[in-house]
Amino acid sequence: MRISNLIGKPALGKIRVLHIITRLDKGGSADTTLLTVFFLNREKYEVFLANGSSLESNMSLMEKEVVKQDSSFAKAKGVRTFTIPSLVRRLSFTKDIQAFISIYRLIKRIRPHIVHTHTSKAGVWGRSAAYLARVPIIIHTPHGHVFHSYYGFVLTNIFVFAEKILSLMTDKITALTNQERDEHLEKGIASIEKYVIIHSGVVLDRFKNMSVDIRAMKKELGIPQDSNVVGVIGRLVPIKGHKYLVSASKGIVEECPKTVFVFVGDGHLKSRLERQAESIGVRKNIIFTGWRNDASEILYLFDILVLPSLNEGMGRVLIEGMALGKPIVASNVGGIIDLVRNGENGILVPPRDSDALGKAILQLIKNKDMAEELGKNGKAIVNPIFDVSTMIKKIDDLYESLLSTNCYK
């Protein structure tokens, strides 16, 4: 393919890899990208990371501090980092053009062998700039898609058309799950040969050895010790479907009054969700913790993990919950259906269906043996398929395969 720009053969020196992501926060796509740049073999790869402004995330001071620490850790691991302030998530003609120019200049300066983009906006401008700069290998990881539940009909179809054009500039598209790939195929984004499935990885050892003082943690959060704890972790934004869990909570509390719902995460919907809970009389049963750096430790407290998303690329929190042996109730959308096997390690329900969501949660509250069995099965599924080491191995194999095809013919 675009071989002429390759500077020497990779075997003679380190392979330069530039990762580009729209923004760094503590969401799943950013965590996956950071783990990738952290763990790629430094003796083999010279790793660069470019990211846009994170101001749009409306992060708490604590979250900003953790993101700052992650960036510092990346630098300490030998990753060269760059911030592109004009690379923002929202549509902005002026900033988008500025972002494209900035990325193009950065690519010409670094002269990477591989550009690997993450998320939609970085995928648009990163791939376009890499193609124009004649980068030998271009890879894109969507981390989900925006083909439904985000935008209206017209804008959605514009994005679909853009993705079809961009796929022509892309050597491989890495999907997090089979379902994510299949939804791309349904839209005709690219042929099946262009896709590679690489699950988002988690440091599973951390969960194997986790120990939490449950009594103390419940006391800190204001959870009665004898409560059924139903929890959700994720940003309080429409696509995550939190309002359907709030609606479902009314019927659950009526049958099982000692149930407490824990919403871990922050976002612009917080006050609206609080008002919704107040209006249906369940506010005292719902705890909004805000963003927490110890979200995994709070997950340890859950009796049931819920993910009521309307669209989901994969749902890393599901892997964490499975690693901790938690039964799951989740929407049967996107990559969730590749992780949660209905009746085996969780219960799947239709999205936007509060009644079905409530019935599934009640079923697990009332049937502790079933909940325990589902949790045990989930724990058996995750290792080693969803471990970070497996993800890094597959990424390395992909890079090797493309380098071999493009450089050693």
CA end-to-end span of the chain: 10
Q: What is the pLDDT of residue 110?
A: 95
Contact between residue 148 and residue 160 where contact means Cβ atoms under 8 Å apart: no
Average pLDDT of 93-100?
92
Backbone angles phi, psi at 399, to 5 degrees: -60, -45
Q: What pLDDT, on a 0 to 100 scale, did the predictor assign at position 148?
A: 58
Residue 5 lies in a domain: no
Residues 182 and 237 in one domain: no
CA distances (Å), origin 40, targets 16, 170, 191, 389: 11, 21, 28, 10
Predicted confidence (pLDDT) per residue in 259-286, tens digit: 999 999 998 999 999 999 999 999 999 9
Structural tokens at position 171: 């050597």
Return phi, psi of residue 232, to 5°.
Answer: -135, 140
Angle value at C-alpha 392, between 181 and 143, nearest 5 degrees: 35
75 and 184 housed in the same domain = yes
Q: Over 70: is that where the pLDDT of 58 sits?
A: no
3-state helix, strand, coil in the chain (%, to 5): 50, 15, 35
Q: Are 241 and 283 part of one and the same domain?
A: yes
pLDDT of 3 reads 33
Quickly list H helices, 111-169: 120-132, 153-167
Please determine, for residue 312, whether its predicted confidence score (pLDDT) is greater than 80: yes
Average the pLDDT over 23-52 and give the result.
89
269 lies in the same domain as 348: yes
User: What CATH number corresponds to the domain at position 301?
Assistant: 3.40.50.2000
Residue 150 and residue 277 in one domain:
no
- The answer to whether position 3 is within a domain reads no
Report the percent of the chain where pLDDT is more than 90. Answer: 71
Task: Identify whether 273 is part of a domain.
Answer: yes
pLDDT in the model for residue 34: 92
Give residue 60's domain range: 10-201+387-407
Average pLDDT over residues 376-404: 94
Q: Are 9 and 409 in contact (CB under 8 A)?
A: no
Residue 56 is predicted with a pLDDT of: 55
The pLDDT tens digits of the residues spanning 105-151 come to 999 999 999 999 998 889 999 999 999 999 999 999 998 766 655 56
Same domain, 46 and 193: yes
Per-residue pLDDT tens for 154-197?
A: 777 888 888 999 999 999 999 999 988 998 899 899 999 999 99
Residue 193 in any domain: the answer is yes
Q: Say whether pLDDT at 352 is over 50.
A: yes
Residues 234 and 374 occupy one common structural domain: yes
Count of the separate structural domains present in the chain: 2
Residues 6+ apart with CB under 8 A from 399: 15, 17, 45, 114, 137
The share of the chain scoring above pLDDT 70, in percent, equals: 92
What confidence score (pLDDT) does residue 405 get? 82
**Predicted local confidence at residue 23, as pLDDT:** 83
Average pLDDT, stretch 23-51? Answer: 89
What is the structure's pLDDT at 54?
63
pLDDT at site 4: 36
2 occurs within a structural domain:
no
Q: Are residues 343 and 392 in the same domain?
A: no
Mean pLDDT for the stretch of residues 221-237: 95
Packing angle between helix 242-255 and helix 270-279, nearest 10 degrees?
A: 30
pLDDT of residue 53: 76
Q: Are residues 400 and 350 in the same domain?
A: no
Number of helices (H) and strands (E) in the chain: give both, helices first: 16, 13
Specify whether 58 is located in the same domain as 138. Answer: yes
CA distances from 319 to 56, 199, 262 (A): 27, 10, 18
270/274 Cα distance (integer angstroms): 6
Q: In this model, does residue 5 exceed pLDDT 60?
A: no
155 and 214 belong to one structural domain: no
Do 170 and 70 share a structural domain? yes
Residue 7 has pLDDT above 70, yes or no: no
pLDDT at 10 over 50: no
Contact present, 59 and 291 (Cβ < 8 Å): yes
Would 164 be classed as within a structural domain?
yes
